[in-house]
Chains A and B, each alone.
Chain A
Amino acid sequence: MSTLQDHNETGALLNESAGRLFASVLDREIREAQLGEWPEARWRQVEDAGFALALVREEAGGFGVDPAEAVGLLRIAGSHAAPVPLAETMLANRLLTEAGFEAAPGPATIAPVTGTAAFSLARQGAGWRVRGSASGVPWARHAKVIAALADHDGKPWMIRLDRRRADIAPNASLAGLPSDVVKLDAELSDDDVRPAPSRWTCESLTAAGAALRVAEMAGALERVLEMTVTYANERVQFGKPIGKQQAVQQLLAVLAGQVAACGGAAAIAGAAFDALDILPIAAAKVRAGEAVSIAAPIAHQVHGAIGFTEEHRLHFFTRRLWTWRDEFGPERHWSAILGRRAIAAGADGLWPFVTSFGAAQEAR
């Protein structure tokens, strides 16, 4: 049993090596990934560093990293637009190992991602048959394993699916990254099918993915702020840097506020991940999405025409942000869940409802 201090130290080491590894990502790699190439060399480094297992519990073969710190890895990856399925693999491995499967021997992803059941599972002879279709599955075509939830007798079951068993229709997200349709009509043996641990449902899987996306969004927004401030300090018009203009300063202050809000959201989501506390994650995803909708246009406005070009790297981040705010539930999805609970709490229960968000974190 490792101590809390060990957890924190492992987390700090992991964060340090992630900073180094992802800082070396080249623009060329990011562009190649967006053209559909698999970044084998970079993925090899990510696996060798152990990041793929960062969310796996110690008793299931992980290194016992504090889950909030492990989620922090994704903030770093997001701040470098790392073109690898790290969030997806981390989550898939957590899911697989909680259900008693081995972690995936390579890149992995999860399905479905929209909060509603997409696959159905039925007994067939001594084994199983799984059928269905899920869209928007990130990185599916490059995954070795898809950790999928399928419905059987009204309950979620977990499937460890060899990607070659699926029919993959490639599609791309706004960021140009794989966001594929996974169609299944396959026989499975008992070895690949288990009842899902009780807390894993299509909704909680989507929440878990949302928590990871919020971390990536916070990292990407921090980078967008840094790039935009740097540009405003360097770009000279009317004889002085545009950042000296009050109109531009006010815009950048608004941008900074949204980056701070998204950072706060990431802290909330990171703390809520381990217990799959859905409401804090919902709040975090809603606020992070709104931050993107305000911040990205400001970054583009300040960058002017050059920031609208393919050549400039701003879109590595803004296109990812526009993708991530929608993946694993857009603002409307999570707002409705929060709103229903708030209205049910009633006028006199509204404030206790708001403060219960912090209290849940304390209990852990």
Chain B
Amino acid sequence: MTYFTFPNAPLLPEAEKLRGEVRAFLAEELRSVPAHVRAASWSGFDADFSRRMGERGWIGMTWPKQYGGHERSSLERYVVLEEMLAAGAPVAAHWIADRQSGPLLLRFGTEEQRRSVLPKIAAGELYCCIGMSEPDSGSDLAAVRTRAEPVDGGFRVNGTKLWTTYGHRAQYMLLFCRTSGGPGDRHKGTSQLLVDLTLPGITIRPIADLSGAKHFNEVVFEDVLVPASALIGEEGNGWHQVTSELAYERSGPERFLSSFVLFAELIRVLQRYPSEHATVAVGRLIAHFVVLRQLSRGVAWLLQNGANPALEAAIVKDLGALVEQEMPDVVRSLVEIEPDAEHTQELMRTLHYIVLAAPSFSLRGGTREILRGIIARGLGLR
């Protein structure tokens, strides 16, 4: 009985050639960026960096050229993603649009939406945010309350979206909302809209996370008039569309590399006096990363071949989040230090950042429990 498949993704010479180019680019870009800043990884926002990525053709890599894409393989894209994450490049501006909004529009969007939005995303100039979570709809996405009422020429939107990462910097939101029926209808009557965040009636308020950092937001819609042309795909098909968007969201290497910068700083310190205990602990983590990469590249290969690896992606994200979250405790068990944001040693400062960021690793993109529920369904238990 086979419940899941993780194929051996082939190693393409063009992808390895690209790896060299990406490393050279990053060495230059990140030359003077300290580890505790790079530790933010895909939470780090830098519009100029994103534009330079776009210039090099590293956003929208797999998309058709007619929409500003570069028609490269998903494995080449994977190389760019993992190199960015491992180095801690500030990719947040374009990350969501490249990962899920663009692919969603390619698959379900109108020709006008594709022509107007995708080339700008690929250029690293247009950013999107996710419009899924709400005050009463977190893991239970079908409990969505935000309503887009069909009116003459479009929709009138009312409701609140929450935890909207970089909503204050993005130009567009991919809004998941209800266009008919009520919460009792669950999956039915939901749709997705491509919403211009400059429209009147939208208020974006920052929410500080537990460290005080402000990257996510509350986005309130009050009688916002959205044109009919904003509808993505079909009205009422929102559930099917948003679940495929989630598959893109969960499949990437950002699900196990969030703490990698901390791992590298640990090595920098251990190198002076590597104890046997520390050596064994480091070797174990290497084994985890090597196997996670094998599985994660398998997911990329499944995507390349048009499969829907929702189950495989959930497995990789669940396994990856465990390693990401374990990293600060591994560091603490091997080096007698305290996290310190002002310390001269980068390990202390990076540890400070990661300890405070780590709780989010098993929340964002689907909580651990939801992912395990998806896996249990894949096993035929639900």
Q: Hey, which bits of chain A sit against chain B, CB under 8 A?
A: 222, 225-226, 229, 232-233, 243-244, 246, 248-250, 252-254, 256-257, 260-261, 263-265, 267-268, 271, 280, 282-284, 286-287, 290, 331-332, 334-340, 342-343, 345-348, 350-355, 357-359, 361-362
* Contact partner, B286, options A243, A246, A249, A342, Cβ 8 Å: A342
Given known A252-B376, A264-B294, A350-B263, contact A287–B287 (CB-CB < 8 A)? yes
Contact B376–A343 (Cβ < 8 Å):
no
Contact B6–A263 (Cβ < 8 Å):
yes
Question: 13 A-B pairs, CB-CB below 8 angstroms?
Answer: A243-B381, A244-B382, A253-B371, A260-B315, A265-B287, A280-B290, A331-B284, A340-B274, A342-B267, A343-B274, A348-B264, A354-B293, A362-B16
**What residues on B are CB-neighbors of A282 within 8 Å?**
283, 287
Considering the chains assembled together, what is the distance between the CA atoms of A260 and B83 in angstroms? 24
Contact A264–B375 (Cβ < 8 Å):
no
* Contact partner, B294, options A268, A352, A359, Cβ 8 Å: A268
> Which residues of B in the span 273-303 have a Cβ within 8 Å of any Cβ on A?
274, 276, 278-284, 286-295, 297-298
**What residues on A are CB-neighbors of B372 within 8 Å?**
249-250, 253-254
**What residues on B are CB-neighbors of A233 within 8 Å?**
380-381
Contact B282–A338 (Cβ < 8 Å):
yes
* Contact partner, B270, options A287, A343, A355, Cβ 8 Å: A343
Considering the chains assembled together, what is the distance between the CA atoms of A229 and B282 in angstroms? 34
B2-19 interface bits toward A, Cβ cutoff 8 Å, 1 = contact, 0 = none: 111010100101001001
The reply on B55 being an interface residue by CB < 8 A is no
| Further 18 A-B residue pairs, CB within 8 A, beyond A257-B375, A351-B87 | A222-B2, A243-B381, A249-B382, A257-B319, A261-B295, A264-B295, A267-B6, A268-B291, A331-B284, A332-B280, A334-B287, A338-B286, A342-B286, A345-B267, A346-B271, A347-B264, A351-B86, A354-B293
Contact B4–A260 (Cβ < 8 Å):
yes
* Contact partner, A343, options B83, B267, B284, Cβ 8 Å: B267
Considering the chains assembled together, what is the distance between the CA atoms of A347 and B204 in angstroms? 40
Contact B376–A249 (Cβ < 8 Å):
yes
* Contact partner, B315, options A257, A283, A290, A362, Cβ 8 Å: A257
* Contact partner, A253, options B270, B289, B293, B379, Cβ 8 Å: B379
Classify the interface of chain A: helix, strand, loop or mixed.
helix
B250-266 interface bits toward A, Cβ cutoff 8 Å, 1 = contact, 0 = none: 00000000001001110
* Contact partner, B318, options A226, A253, A268, Cβ 8 Å: A253
Considering the chains assembled together, what is the distance between the CA atoms of A287 and B13 in angstroms? 28
Candidate in B87, B268, B284, B375 with the most chain A CB atoms within 10 angstroms: B284
Closest to A344 in B: B271
* Contact partner, B16, options A248, A338, A359, Cβ 8 Å: A359
**What residues on B are CB-neighbors of A347 within 8 Å?**
264-265, 267-268, 271
**What residues on A are CB-neighbors of B312 within 8 Å?**
260
The reply on B369 being an interface residue by CB < 8 A is yes
Considering the chains assembled together, what is the distance between the CA atoms of A351 and B257 in angstroms? 10
Closest to A225 in B: B3
Taking the nearest CB of chain B, how far is it from the CB of A104, in angstroms? 31
Given known A233-B380, A287-B291, contact A346–B87 (CB-CB < 8 A)? no
**What residues on A are CB-neighbors of B8 within 8 Å?**
267, 271
**What residues on A are CB-neighbors of B289 within 8 Å?**
354
Considering the chains assembled together, what is the distance between the CA atoms of A336 and B284 in angstroms? 8
